[in-house]
Structure 1
Amino acid sequence: MKLMNYRQSFPLLSMFAISALTSLLLTGCATKQLSKSDRRKVQGKTFVVTGASSGFGRGVALRLGEYHANVVLAARRGEVLESVAADVRKAGGQAIVVLTDVGRQQDVERLADTTVKVFGKADVWINNAGVGAIGGFEDIPLDEYSKLIDVNLKGVVYGSQAALKLFKKQGYGKLINTGSVESAVPLAYHATYGSTKAAVRALGNVLHQELRLSGHLKKIKVVTIMPWAVDTPFWRHAANYSGGTPRMAAMDGPEKVVNAIIFSSLHRRRELPVGWKARASYISHRLMPHLTERISANIAYRYQIKTAPPAPPTKGSVMLPMPEGQGIDDGVRQRMKAEKKEQKGRKDSNKRIEQ
């Protein structure tokens, strides 16, 4: 087959460029706070938020409180959830706490039942709970891999099933699953985490088609959110066997993802890579998968293995919740910036000594 000449390929390239630019612009809209009209649409709606004790979950809950929504807070850390609930109420919303380990089916079913008993409905169900494991594939204990799958994949399966049963009964609803840019672009030293996030994306695509075939797609939607690496307590909570302090290059702030999740509850987006870096990776992998994976792996090696400050092995919060890391932003970017400045200072000092 002959390659198309420039004139033949130009219209296709132009269409792709326009599509990519449009996607980037739409993603930019999604990462901002809701407009006044959208805020009014959120008011009084009921949102179930798993993983609500820190990171995206806590950020979404507090923002929903500002928009005067009803928020059902689910996570393993009960005392922390009570604190989040108090902040939601102070902001103007309503909140209840349901202690939940999403890896346990009975906990998720109780979460759905409690939501209906208290608020009578669930307009939006956000499967956000997740844990990470960083290190070489053979270095991470299998029991931790197993728990990671329980939370990141089974938890989404249990939550999706509970939500869809409820939505079909009430006739409407929006299911939002938090994936990752790793749902599309694999990253070295994140083998099982990336695998679970790829499965979350696949699950969302399948559910979309099943809803279409059953005639429910007009009223029930499924969205997969795919952020770039974000500065949240995720890195502090991750199991880590890499030898270096958990981190990634060019992290985004959590507010982008918080806004995108809430934006998706109102707008039709089947998949949403959040921010220009996630979108660029997503598009690049579709066009040049092998090159994109190679570049991603090299970046992970440089930041996680080669230059990260040493860190001892840890199970993080994979097996059991930990008290540390209750915020939305965890200050990782500030620490990396300070470390870089310190390293530069040492290099300059060594140069002066040599001279």
Structure 2
Amino acid sequence: MSRTADVAGKTIVVTGASSGFGRGVAVRLGAAGANVVLAARRGDVLDDVVSEIETAGGVAVAVPTDVSDPDAVTRLAEAAVERFGRIDVWVNNVGVGAIGLFWDIPVADHARLVEVNLTGLLYGAHAALRQFRAQGAGVLVNVGSIDSEVPLAYQASYAASKAAVLSLGRSLNEELRLVGEHDTISVGTIMPWAVDTPWWTHAANYSGRTARMAAMDDPQLVVDAIVAACTDPREQQPVGAKARTADVSHHLFAGLTERLSAKTADAESKRGAALPPTSGALHEPMAEGTTVDGGIRARMAREDAADGE
């Protein structure tokens, strides 16, 4: 039986489902027969995703949710249980970014990033684990980043928040072990490399240029990993060859890996087109960027061509 077939009939909550990984995962799970509960701030876009899933024969419900609001996350969990009777998997796919030198980014943007990436993820994890313990089983999938392991210049608060995500997952697994529930409830952390999704369009950006990163991965690679983790979670899962290489390198040569990563980020920050400062979608959602693929690689290719590279 394939891993996608294993999710048939399961109820799976996916946050951040209006674009990027979340949208890709939701559509894939719906096609595999899961009951998908979609959450994001952009309710109109969620309705489009529900229509896409239902047109393909799947089952989905949209629950507009700002994950930084604990009451909204509670309502999300309640809506899932009320509609489907239980929650088998909760995918904490929350992640906003702030790009630029740490001191050039307004402190309000740093605070909002942590409120979404860490506090919002905590709310989701808390709601999910309470439900899992009540029903006796469940899988929590937290989407971190290779930045969870390797700190990255120009994304300091984002990397800090994603390091916390990995630490949280590890701690939760130990607590589940202590209470004897680790065989029935699992927490996994997905750690992608830089990926071509609308995240880069939605990120706050104070670098002065459009957001870029070398050797971006295709989002389908990460979508596949998240879907597989719904039935086979791993505590720490770097996704793709580049993420696995960076993970191993940091364990062996931490200082060297961090300096090389910083130099790469610095070089890329100087190559984009001019862009005025923006808080992106940190504080309010934006209309742009509703697809799985962000079109960032294509835009980078155009920028490089314009520079004669």
* Superposed pair shares fold, TM > 0.5: yes
TM-score, normalization by structure 1: 0.86
TM-score, normalization by structure 2: 0.98
- Residue 39 of structure 1: CA displacement? 2.8
- Residue 92 of structure 1: CA displacement? 2.1
Which runs of at least 4 in structure 1 moved beyond 4 Å after TM superposition?
A: none
Matched, 1:311 2:239: no
Of the three residues 44, 60, 68, the one matched with 1:103 is: 68
- What per-residue deviation string (whole Å, max 9, x for no partner) do you get for residues 169-190 of structure 1? 0000000000000000001010
* Match of residue 59 from structure 1: 24
- Decide whether the 8 Å contact of 1:130 with 1:152 is kept in 2: yes
Using the alignment, how far apart are the partners of 1:96 and 1:75 within structure 2? 12
RMSD (Å), alpha carbons: 0.9
Where is the helix percentage greater, Structure 1 or Structure 2? 1
- Residue 66 of structure 1: CA displacement? 1.2
- Decide whether the 8 Å contact of 1:177 with 1:224 is kept in 2: yes
* Match of residue 244 from structure 2: 279
Using the alignment, how far apart are the partners of 1:73 and 1:273 within structure 2? 25
- Decide whether the 8 Å contact of 1:75 with 1:129 is kept in 2: no
Structure number, greater radius of gyration: 1
* Match of residue 333 from structure 1: 297
Q: Matches of residues 216-227 of structure 1 in structure 2 within 5 Å?
A: 216-227=181-192
- What per-residue deviation string (whole Å, max 9, x for no partner) do you get for residues 193-231 of structure 1? 111000000000100100000100000000000000000
- Residue 338 of structure 1: CA displacement? 2.2
Using the alignment, how far apart are the partners of 2:88 and 2:55 within structure 1? 22
Instruction: Count matched residues.
Output: 309
SS of the aligned residue for 1:327 comes to coil
Using the alignment, how far apart are the partners of 1:111 and 1:40 within structure 2? 25
Q: Which amino acid is the alignment partner of residue 18 of structure 2?
A: S
- Decide whether the 8 Å contact of 2:193 with 2:240 is kept in 1: yes
- Decide whether the 8 Å contact of 2:148 with 2:166 is kept in 1: yes
Q: Which amino acid is the alignment partner of residue 337 of structure 1?
A: A
- Decide whether the 8 Å contact of 1:128 with 1:178 is kept in 2: yes
Matched, 1:229 2:188: no
Of the three residues 322, 327, 331, the one matched with 2:286 is: 322
Using the alignment, how far apart are the partners of 1:128 and 1:271 within structure 2? 15
Matched, 1:122 2:87: yes
Q: Matches of residues 162-181 of structure 1 in structure 2 within 5 Å?
A: 162-181=127-146
Residue segments in structure 2 that go unaligned for 5+ positions in a row = none
Residue segments in structure 1 that go unaligned for 5+ positions in a row = 1-35, 346-355
Q: Matches of residues 55-94 of structure 1 in structure 2 within 5 Å?
A: 55-94=20-59
- Decide whether the 8 Å contact of 1:126 with 1:176 is kept in 2: yes
Of the three residues 176, 201, 222, the one matched with 2:166 is: 201
- Residue 268 of structure 1: CA displacement? 4.2
